Amino acid sequence: MPKRVLPLSDLKINKAKPQEKEYRLFDGNGLYVAVTPSGGKLWRIKYRFEGKAKELHLGAYPVITLAEARQKLLDAKRQIVNGVDPAAVKKALKQARFESVANSFEVVAREWHGRFIGQWTNGHAVTIMSRLERDVFPYLGNEPVEEIKAPMVLKLLRRVESRGALESAHRIRTVIGQVLRYAVATGRAERDCTGDLKGALPPATKNHLAALTDPKDVAPLLRAIDGFEGSFVVKCALRLAPLFFVRPGELRQAEWVEFDFEAAQWDIPAKRMKMKLAHIVPLSQQAIDILKDLKPLTGHSRYVFPSHRTPLRCMSNNAVNAALRRMGFEKDEMCAHGFRAMARTILDEVMGFKEKYIEHQLGHAVKDANGRAYNRTSHLPARRSMMQQWADYLDGLKAGAKVIPLRQAG
């Protein structure tokens, strides 16, 4: 008479000690725990399928409990009765999970990007990947490409559109379509669903002076500038652009002789101003700190922001815009000139400064009641105060603090 196998218990499994060789603790009906020399306790099922002895591995104890192992045994028995091999089912599921991960949108998109990167300029390649990493991967990255449907893409595009970046939404749709068509060509998807979205977004209107003017959008921009990993000279220009809000040409052509740290001001000569009127930019403490950090590097040059090719020229007129694109901000969202609109809007509508102070600080040809243009020192004390408060306000936005507008505080 065969020896009767006593069912296992948690106590018996826990008391099992490793030996020099692997041994088994049987629970019955082919279910057992293999105790390994290293102390592992692994659930396995012995069974026969189509006349062949087979074994199914379930996992480790106690991750797989005794009750769960017995349930898996029952499931396997049902599969066998129905003519299905449990080991084949497990292998198929594992392969399906592997293929799902291998064919996720992010994996396919990065493969596509690497395949075609040689056909693009470096700037275009960086822009495409920034666009994907910022606006697409967080929402579609883990989705298998064959399961991506038009409503999912439209939801993502409307999220981009809602922040005022309609042109970016259209471009992102194009990129997603390119990735999905590559997936079709490589046998990982049936079709590109973005064609179904024709007309789902309003047509984009070209904006030559794009700017972020909502404080909640400005905060991520400021944090992105602080995290910029490109040239230190360009990074300083990016950090000073919102503090100064001068025209891009006035910023990049700045010369060290024009800065007076003791007087805390930057004197821009009339010949470099659009209105051909000399201009004063009061320096906040934050601006002075940035300039002092930069001076050991470029102080030997005529220019505060010299070209990386030669200190005899200032940096190119595209340096700041290229940096913004590199950080993932599209040209319909933010450009170098946009820091002026940013300051103009927030200083007026949020912080409540007088329009004449703002307009004069922008270097506009403001005239008094008698038709005379204000001179370079008009309202200078008020402008100094405004520029320091502006710098402090930007620091608060960047830090994530809830900055109370002056109009509300009043």
The CATH number of the domain holding residue 185 is 1.10.150.130
- The DSSP bridge partners found for residue 8 are none
**Does residue 303 lie within any of the structural domains?**
yes
364 in active site: yes
56 and 178, same structural domain? no
The yes-or-no verdict on residue 309 having pLDDT over 80 is yes
pLDDT in tens, 224-267: 999 998 899 999 999 999 999 999 999 999 999 999 999 999 99
What is the distance of C-alpha 297 from the center of its chain? Answer: 30
Token readout for 168 is 């970016």
334 and 254, same structural domain? yes
340 in active site: yes
Give dist(CA 172, CA 153) in Å, integer. Answer: 10
Token readout for 157 is 């595009």
309 in active site: no
Q: Of 77, 181, 302, 364, which residue is the catalytic one?
A: 364
The yes-or-no verdict on residue 35 having pLDDT over 70 is yes
Q: Of 70, 90, 139, 374, which residue is the catalytic one?
A: 374
337 in active site: yes
86-95, 155-164, 208-217, 244-253: the lowest-pLDDT one: 86-95
Q: Where residue 31 sits, what CATH number does that domain have?
A: 3.30.160.390
pLDDT in tens, 334-392: 999 999 999 999 999 999 899 889 988 998 866 555 545 556 788 899 999 999 999 99
Give dist(CA 74, CA 259) in Å, integer. Answer: 82
188 and 311, same structural domain? no
Sheet containing 23-28, strands listed edge to edge, beginning at the edge strand earlier in sequence: 23-28, 31-35, 41-49, 52-60
Angle between helices 122-131 and 319-326 (to 10 degrees): 40
**Does residue 98 lie within any of the structural domains?**
no
376 in active site: no
Sheet containing 279-282, strands listed edge to edge, beginning at the edge strand earlier in sequence: 259-260, 265-268, 279-282
* Mean pLDDT score, 20-42: 92
SS3 69: helix
377 and 273, same structural domain? yes
Question: DSSP states of 341-405 as a string?
Answer: HHHHHIIIIIT---HHHHHHHTT---B-TTSPBP-TTTTHHHHHHHHHHHHHHHHHHHHT--PPP
Give dist(CA 31, CA 55) in Å, integer. Answer: 10
**Does residue 397 lie within any of the structural domains?**
yes
Q: Which of 164, 197, 230 is the last residue of a domain?
A: 197
pTM for the full predicted model:
0.51
Q: Of 173, 337, 344, 360, which residue is the catalytic one?
A: 337
59 and 153, same structural domain? no
- At 182, which helix (H) or strand (E)? helix 166-185
pLDDT in tens, 58-115: 889 999 999 999 999 998 888 888 888 888 877 776 765 665 566 889 889 998 988 8
**Does residue 203 lie within any of the structural domains?**
no
Q: Of 24, 91, 94, 274, which residue is the catalytic one?
A: 274
- Cβ atoms of residues 340 and 361 within 8 Å: no
Give dist(CA 336, CA 246) in Å, integer. Answer: 10
191 and 114, same structural domain? yes
386 and 338, same structural domain? yes
Q: Of 170, 235, 331, 340, which residue is the catalytic one?
A: 340
237 and 178, same structural domain? no
Predicted pLDDT of residue 408 = 41
Q: Which has more confidence, 195 or 163?
A: 195
**Does residue 254 lie within any of the structural domains?**
yes
SS3 188: coil
350 and 271, same structural domain? yes
**Does residue 206 lie within any of the structural domains?**
no
Domain with 172 in it: 105-197
Q: Where residue 254 sits, what CATH number does that domain have?
A: 1.10.443.10
Q: Which of 86, 113, 133 is the last residue of a domain?
A: 86
Beta-sheet pairing, 265-268 with 279-282 = antiparallel
Nearest to 380 by CA among 241, 254, 267: 267
**Does residue 351 lie within any of the structural domains?**
yes
394 and 245, same structural domain? yes
Predicted pLDDT of residue 406 = 42
Number of domains forming the structure of the chain: 3
- Cβ atoms of residues 33 and 16 within 8 Å: yes
Q: Which of 167, 197, 227 is the last residue of a domain?
A: 197
- Cβ atoms of residues 379 and 360 within 8 Å: yes
310 and 171, same structural domain? no
**Does residue 336 lie within any of the structural domains?**
yes
**Phi/psi of residue 25, each to 5°?**
-115, 110
Q: What angle do CA 68, 72, 76 make, to 5 degrees?
A: 170
Beta-sheet pairing, 279-282 with 23-28 = unpaired
Predicted pLDDT of residue 86 = 84
Residue type, 8: L
- Cβ atoms of residues 290 and 236 within 8 Å: yes
223 and 178, same structural domain? no
* Mean pLDDT score, 292-302: 95
Predicted pLDDT of residue 407 = 46
Q: Of 41, 131, 239, 247, which residue is the catalytic one?
A: 247
The yes-or-no verdict on residue 132 having pLDDT over 50 is yes
279 in active site: no
